[in-house]
Amino acid sequence: MRVVSLVPSLTEAVARTVPGALAGATDWCTHPAGLDVVRVGGTKNPRTGRILSLAPDLVVANEEENRAPDLDALRAAGVEVLVTEVRTVPQALTELDRVLAACGAASRPRWLDEAEAAWSALPPPPEPRATAVVPIWRRPWMVLGRDTFAGDVLARLGVDHLYAAHAERYPRIPVGELRAARPDVVVLPDEPYRFTADDGPEAFPGLPCALVDGRYLTWYGPSLAEAPRVLGAALRAARR
């Protein structure tokens, strides 16, 4: 198999499980460290000519991260494209099984079994459940809205984000409104916007802020095995 991945988390999953199959990946595919494959541009602007030059047997993509016109162009050139849809943790586990099998994995990897076990073993969250706002961008401020994988991750850890019923998946909300919502915690990931201790918390005076590794919040791959422990610790620490 020759595989090109257009999704960073799927790149990590394929590289860890079927390392010889991966021929190309996006510029944003940062894991595993030292990944040595041809780079094919960004997730939103892949260089289709370069992808075709690699003669892939399969391109793996995601319906949210990648644009339909790019995937259609690859299909029109005769390339098989596998498109995933991931909105929940169980869906992520199922889609990872499907992707890895399509990429030639001989068996289910141990890390995927460990990820499933880690999420299945979570105890019931304490009551009352915590509330959160989860910015993913600033200038303008954007937050998690309805039907997102990251929202499902937090919900399984006992944290309900306040815009889960919004009509949009990533609504633009003025920061004053976010502050006025008075969540129990503001969750600030380091991607897609790189929130840091000096860039983000100052916008929410008096509110607990949890700076979290975006890979554990938004990636569906090997990081899923550690995500409950790492994110749970960060959320608890912010609220002490």
Q: What are the pLDDT digits (tens) for 159-202? A: 999 999 999 999 999 999 999 999 999 999 999 999 999 999 99
pTM of the full predicted structure?
Answer: 0.93
Query: pLDDT per residue over 81-118, tens digit each?
Result: 999 999 999 999 999 999 999 999 999 999 999 999 99
Q: What is the DSSP string of 151-205?
A: HHHHHHTTEEETTTT-SSSS-B--HHHHHHT--SEEEEESSSS--BTTBSGGGST
User: Which strands, in side-by-side order, build the sheet including 3-5?
Assistant: 38-39, 22-25, 3-5, 58-62, 81-84
| Count of residues making up the chain | 240
d(CA 229, CA 216): 10
pLDDT at 217 over 80: yes
Return the pLDDT at 27: 96
Query: pLDDT per residue over 129-145, tens digit each?
Result: 999 999 999 999 999 99
Return the pLDDT at 239: 81
Give bridge partners of residue 133 from the DSSP assignment.
186
